[in-house]
C-alpha cells in the first residue's frame, strides 16, 4: 500500500503511539491507520502474505481466548466448530463491544491446519495476525492460560461462554459441566 502524507483536517489520535494530533499536522495513511510524521513509535511492519496453511502443533479446542500482545494490547479470539461442517473450526476475532456476538471470522482449521479466509489471506490486520499466530502456535497449557485470562475478564466459561457463578469456576476459567468434559 502506498503511503500518502497530508495535513490532518481534524484533531485526532495517532494509531501508532496514541498521541494527540492537531489539525494541520502532517499525517501518514498506512496499513494500521493514520500516524503523525513526528511519531516516536517504530515504523509499521510491512504486511506479510498469509496464504499458506499453518500446521498446528496440537489440536485447537473450541473456546474463547485472550492473547496479550506487546504494550498491554489484548485481542480476544473465538474458536468454534461450524454448524453442518463438523470437521471445520472457525477462528474469529472480537471486532465490537459485545463479547458474545461481535466476532469476525478470519480463518479456519481443517485437517490440523490453520488457513486464512479469502478476505484476510492477503493482508490480515497486524494485531489480529499476531494474536492468531500466538494462539495456533502455542501449546495446550498456553492456550488454557489464554482461555482462563478471557474467563476472568468476562466472567464466562471460556469453552461454552456461559456465566460462571462460583469462585472456583471463575478461578479455573470453566464451569463444572465443561470441566467434567476434560
Same domain (yes/no): 12, 80: no
48: in domain: no
Q: What does the pLDDT average to over 71-95?
A: 83
Residue 29 or residue 66, greater confidence: 66
Same domain (yes/no): 32, 59: no
Range of the domain at 20: 4-36
In three-state form (DSSP H/G/I as H, E/B as E, the rest C), the secondary structure along 114-150 is: EEECHHHHCCCCHHHHHHHHHHHCCCHHHHHHHHHHH
What does the pLDDT read at residue 48? 36
Same domain (yes/no): 161, 114: yes
The closest alpha carbon to 135, from 56, 51, 38, belongs to 56
Same domain (yes/no): 101, 18: no
Residue 72 or residue 78, greater confidence: 78
Same domain (yes/no): 58, 32: no
Same domain (yes/no): 27, 68: no
Predicted confidence (pLDDT) at residue 1 exceeds the cutoff of 50 = no
Same domain (yes/no): 31, 90: no
Amino acid at each position: 500500500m502506498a503511503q500518502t502524507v497530508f495535513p490532518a483536517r481534524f484533531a485526532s489520535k495517532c494509531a501508532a503511539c496514541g498521541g494527540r494530533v492537531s489539525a494541520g499536522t502532517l499525517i501518514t495513511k498506512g496499513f494500521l491507520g493514520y500516524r503523525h510524521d513526528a511519531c516516536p513509535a517504530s515504523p509499521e511492519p510491512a504486511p506479510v502474505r498469509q496464504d499458506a496453511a499453518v500446521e498446528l502443533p496440537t489440536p485447537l479446542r473450541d473456546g474463547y481466548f485472550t492473547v496479550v500482545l506487546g504494550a498491554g494490547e489484548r485481542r480476544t479470539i473465538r474458536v468454534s466448530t461450524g454448524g453442518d461442517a463438523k470437521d471445520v473450526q472457525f477462528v474469529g476475532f472480537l471486532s465490537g463491544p459485545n463479547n458474545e456476538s461481535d466476532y469476525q471470522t478470519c480463518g479456519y482449521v481443517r485437517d490440523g491446519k490453520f488457513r486464512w479466509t479469502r478476505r484476510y489471506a492477503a493482508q490480515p490486520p497486524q494485531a489480529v495476525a499476531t494474536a492468531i499466530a500466538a494462539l495456533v502456535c502455542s501449546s495446550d497449557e498456553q492456550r488454557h492460560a489464554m482461555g482462563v485470562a478471557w474467563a476472568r475478564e468476562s466472567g464466562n466459561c471460556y469453552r461454552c461462554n456461559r456465566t460462571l457463578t462460583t469462585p472456583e469456576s471463575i478461578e479455573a476459567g470453566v464451569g463444572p459441566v465443561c470441566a467434567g468434559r476434560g
